[in-house]
Structure 1
């Protein structure tokens, strides 16, 4: 009994030592450093079911945490002066205690719930994740810097096509901002303006150069032409300056007629009040025309002077006066001179094209054409405007038998015949009894067709050199602001005010 009694406590003591040894099993790293070293002395451990652990170190699964480290979260939450940070998009949400569903917590806070912030402060990983897909830019929790996919696709679309012209300067000579929405931040543009007397066909020419063809109905032109009623009344169709830009980024500016008698008649008969700096109505009309011409000479690459008969001396005197009163172009810091030795490098001058519209058959005669070039060259001899050397009818194969040096001093002169359809012309001949000799062949006109000549003119105008309008390269939007500043400077010009005082 005594031996068994002494052995009993030893057995119980040995069992206690095993339990203590089992309690010293290695825990998480960093908590129990003595466990693995003590277990190494006794070999493999025994499990409660009698099996032994496999030899070798224990492999633990690395937890995957779908959250940013606390350091980055603190940096993101810290406010930065002058910048607006986006809200973080939470992809995981815990299920709240008390049996509430995650959908209920969504309604309380669409972007992040209070349970998520609490668990993040405690450094724990949220359980039972609920994955969400948020439509950025559409919901109430959209961030300010998020880009809408629809807007991103819109930026890749081609520029919007204008259906008709809009006002750049209204009839009251006030600047309009409606053209700004059609302009872009790109520099490859060409600006073409037109001036001319009343009824010469300025709007028709600009429509044919920009977006229309001679076969279309004139009521569908982008620049409205004179209707038959306005022609019978002797009125004018255009007022102010009209704006149109093509998808090829060519800006066309159609203007009201210069020195227009219909505008003067409308001003007198409707008792419109004159600005205080003008005393007489005809002085005000002439100064309006000079303001428009001086404005075009500053902001356009090409200016087309349209006339329907050759030639008016007063028109050339008007062009030289507008050139004298045009505002000075901002120059670069360094001194530059042009190739001709004049101040062409510091002062900008556009290309000037004389367009003889509604030309008759005899004006296409080579001898008459040479005389017309000589007259224009003599009248514009003292002008700095680029009125020669950039457009040629001889390059269009209109006069195939003429040599290049036939015209001598060739100016920028182009001839267009009267616009009429072939069907109307055939009916006119049939009604007058003058049928052509061979009915199957077209009648002799003395010049190519109107549509072919317009096409050749358009190709030469669009091929004009695009010199810098100022000392910096302008985008389309910068050109708009530059043109608005020039127009305001033209209206307040001291030189124009002094000239109007001398007229009155």
Structure 2
């Protein structure tokens, strides 16, 4: 009796399973048994049964579940028909995780080959899936789905193309004072940029200096400079090389703007001799030339971080009057809102003014004397005392070790003044010959110049310009492309400025 009593539950359970499976085959519905009272109990899913009843030799395998979008939401590319006439299968949908899920920052996760039967990898056990790095899937054809993901941030991260390198400058404003859009293709959507402009009279060397601090070296041929310099023929007939405003951007994302000479007599002579028609708001040619110069200066004071004022002799009082006039006619900085939340003093303090650097080109040897240097700084400080332009405190020749032995306290009022010696080396060759003619000892010593070399000063000037503060130009942080649109709007506003029109009427 004990053996039969122990064996009956097992036999009874096996009979129930046979009858239930026979009922499933007869009815065609899983889990439904038509054999009497056990139908209600067998209606529930099979996963909820006690697994202890299953025989140990048989393992039930679950059917894999595939999650996919409904057919209506999928992009329907043009289906290619195979040779047999059946439509080709659609391309699989690839799900790519972001870089934040990687194990190491900046390093794509690596996948190791798994041997059969070795089990899931460590990343699969933790719930992660090995993915390819984002930059490796660029330019892969995804059919019509590629256009639909144009606004996807992951797609935007794949555009890791190096910016195109410029070889020569291009026009930002042509000789007719019209805005040009050709510079837009060289700009990117990034905010770390520096805008440097230049002003100066005719023949002071503006284009040469801008080429040397941007992309060229003094040893190169001037015909290969990014900004075209004056040829010998133009120098002989006292002409000008630059017209309008030229644009150049370096790989370090520094924008350089070279302008035509201000108050240029050659441009005035060309305007008179060629019988060019003046705009209706101008009556005299010299008034039109002066207003052109003021428009370019007011434009640079609004869209540049640094403005270099080049002069080849010290000093022209009319130059300082011109700078103060352009500052007075400068358009106001656009504000985010016109709400009167702050006082008038706060609104006035929000007005933008650039850093200005006075560059003394073709400086003589006497200009490098410490006493003369101190007098030059004092004169510039008194001339610009009432100006809002940032003309002091951001550039120093004493920090460049150009005057060894002079401390910072030697210059009581140190302004942004930089001295650049002449580029020709005829004096250096004469000094070398004079020093090596008397004794062999002098042939081992360099000739005394009394000033640093031109190449060393240009290198120090470049480093000082690139280290200038990059203040915020408007109420929002501008990218390169946003700066271009902002500058175009400022140029249009300068040309239509009522203050400039009123000043032109007073000059006439």
**TM-score, structure 2 length as denominator?**
0.74
User: Are positions 1:33 and 2:33 aligned together?
Assistant: yes
1:306-359 Cα shifts (integer Å, max 9, x gaps): 00011111111111110111001124555379xxx8976221111111000000
Q: How big is the shift at 1:167?
A: 1.0
Contact 2:298 2:331 in 1 (8 A): yes
Q: How big is the shift at 1:65?
A: 7.1
Query: Could you tell me which residue of structure 1 aligns to residue 342 of structure 2?
Result: 335
Counterparts of 1:119-158 in structure 2 under 5 Å?
138=141, 143-145=146-148, 155-158=159-162
Query: Could you tell me which residue of structure 1 aligns to residue 111 of structure 2?
Result: none
Contact 1:274 1:281 in 2 (8 A): yes
Query: Could you tell me which residue of structure 2 aligns to residue 240 of structure 1?
Result: 244
Counterparts of 1:291-306 in structure 2 under 5 Å?
291-306=295-310
Output the CA distance in 1 between the equivalents of 2:158 and 2:282.
49
1:230-252 Cα shifts (integer Å, max 9, x gaps): 11121111111111111211111
Query: Could you tell me which residue of structure 1 aligns to residue 76 of structure 2?
Result: 87
Relative to structure 1, is the Cα distance of residues 102 and 64 closer, same or farther in structure 2, using a 3 angstrom cutoff?
A: farther
Relative to structure 1, is the Cα distance of residues 283 and 154 closer, same or farther in structure 2, using a 3 angstrom cutoff?
A: farther
Q: How big is the shift at 1:461?
A: 1.2
Query: Could you tell me which residue of structure 2 aligns to residue 369 of structure 1?
Result: 373
User: Are positions 1:314 and 2:318 aligned together?
Assistant: yes
SS state at 1:156 partner:
coil
Query: Could you tell me which residue of structure 2 aligns to residue 353 of structure 1?
Result: 357
Q: How big is the shift at 1:170?
A: 0.9
Output the CA distance in 1 between the equivalents of 2:60 and 2:416.
89
Q: How big is the shift at 1:59?
A: 7.7
Relative to structure 1, is the Cα distance of residues 258 and 136 closer, same or farther in structure 2, using a 3 angstrom cutoff?
A: closer
SS state at 1:252 partner:
strand
Output the CA distance in 1 between the equivalents of 2:327 and 2:212.
27
Contact 1:306 1:356 in 2 (8 A): yes
Counterparts of 1:56-205 in structure 2 under 5 Å?
68=68, 73=70, 77=72, 86-87=75-76, 103-105=83-85, 111=90, 138=141, 143-145=146-148, 155-205=159-209
Query: Could you tell me which residue of structure 2 aligns to residue 44 of structure 1?
Result: none
SS state at 2:261 partner:
coil
Consecutive unaligned residues in structure 1, runs of 5 or more: 1-20, 39-53, 79-84, 94-100, 113-134
Output the CA distance in 2 between the equivalents of 1:300 and 1:157.
27
Consecutive unaligned residues in structure 2, runs of 5 or more: 1-18, 39-53, 92-137
- Size of the alignment, in residue pairs? 419
Q: Which has the larger radius of gyration?
A: 1
Query: Could you tell me which residue of structure 2 aligns to residue 485 of structure 1?
Result: 489
Relative to structure 1, is the Cα distance of residues 358 and 491 closer, same or farther in structure 2, using a 3 angstrom cutoff?
A: same
Q: How big is the shift at 1:373?
A: 1.1
Root-mean-square deviation (CA, aligned residues, Å) is 3.6
**TM-score, structure 1 length as denominator?**
0.74
Q: How big is the shift at 1:408?
A: 1.6
Output the CA distance in 2 between the equivalents of 1:381 and 1:375.
10
Relative to structure 1, is the Cα distance of residues 478 and 142 closer, same or farther in structure 2, using a 3 angstrom cutoff?
A: closer
Relative to structure 1, is the Cα distance of residues 144 and 404 closer, same or farther in structure 2, using a 3 angstrom cutoff?
A: closer
User: Are positions 1:500 and 2:500 aligned together?
Assistant: no
SS state at 1:158 partner:
coil
Output the CA distance in 2 between the equivalents of 1:67 and 1:276.
71
Q: How big is the shift at 1:56?
A: 10
Output the CA distance in 2 between the equivalents of 1:154 and 1:428.
59
Contact 2:431 2:448 in 1 (8 A): no
Query: Could you tell me which residue of structure 2 aligns to residue 390 of structure 1?
Result: 394
